[in-house]
């Protein structure tokens, strides 16, 4: 008799869980349709292997707008897995957030570098580069 009650409880519990799952599936399907096109939004949130909508170049271009820009150095800029190559001397068209990251990188580089005036012109030296020595002179201990 106890076994029959336990089996009945298990079947009832399973039936309730299935009904709840059906209700939740409808809710989650509606949510995916609503925000499924937004990059970074989770798909299949109710599953342990939830995926995210990937970011695209077009998404950034539409969200931030594109602008023409003349970079001074060749540098790849990557945001959320999308890479834009800034090539020195070439005018490129890129989303404004990528251009902003490039400009911030250049500003940080300028802050870290020390300008040194030589007869040949101005030289930018990074702090970790060590002392500047005239050509052919060696440091102590070498």
Q: Give dist(CA 6, CA 66) in Å, integer.
A: 65
Place of tokens 């409808």: 26
For residue 141, the 8-state DSSP code is T
Phi, psi of 104 (to 5 degrees): -65, -40
> Can you tell me the distance from the alpha carbon of 99 to that of 119, in angstroms, rounded to the nearest whole number?
34
Backbone angles phi, psi at 49, to 5 degrees: -105, 50
DSSP H or E stretch at residue 8: helix 2-35
d(CA 98, CA 85): 10
Q: What is the pTM of this model?
A: 0.54
Q: Is 102 exposed, middle or buried (0-12, 13-18, 19+ CB in 10 A)?
A: buried
Q: Give Cβ neighbours of residue 63 (< 8 Å, ≥ 6 apart).
A: 95, 97
User: What per-residue confidence (pLDDT) applies to 126?
Assistant: 60
| Three state DSSP letters for 18-47 | HHHHHHHHHHHHHHHHHHCCCCCCEECCCC
Contact between residue 100 and residue 66 where contact means Cβ atoms under 8 Å apart: no
Per-residue pLDDT of the chain (142 residues; tens, 9 = 90+): 778 778 778 778 777 777 766 666 555 454 444 445 678 777 777 777 777 888 889 889 988 999 999 998 889 999 988 999 999 989 999 999 999 999 998 888 777 766 667 777 766 666 555 555 665 555 555 4
């Amino acid at each position: 008799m106890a076994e029959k009650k336990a089996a009945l409880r298990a079947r009832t519990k399973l039936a309730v869980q299935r009904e709840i799952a059906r209700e939740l599936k409808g809710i989650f399907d509606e949510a995916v349709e609503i925000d499924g096109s937004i990059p970074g939004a989770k798909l299949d949130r109710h599953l342990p292997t939830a995926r995210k909508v990937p970011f695209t170049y077009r998404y950034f271009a539409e969200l931030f707008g594109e602008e023409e820009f003349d970079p001074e150095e060749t540098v790849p800029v990557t945001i959320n897995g999308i890479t834009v190559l800034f090539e020195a001397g070439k005018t490129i068209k890129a989303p404004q957030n990528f251009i902003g990251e490039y400009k911030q990188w250049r500003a940080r580089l300028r802050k870290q570098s020390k300008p040194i005036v030589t007869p040949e012109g101005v030289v930018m030296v990074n702090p970790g580069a060590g002392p500047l020595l005239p050509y052919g002179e060696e440091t102590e201990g070498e």
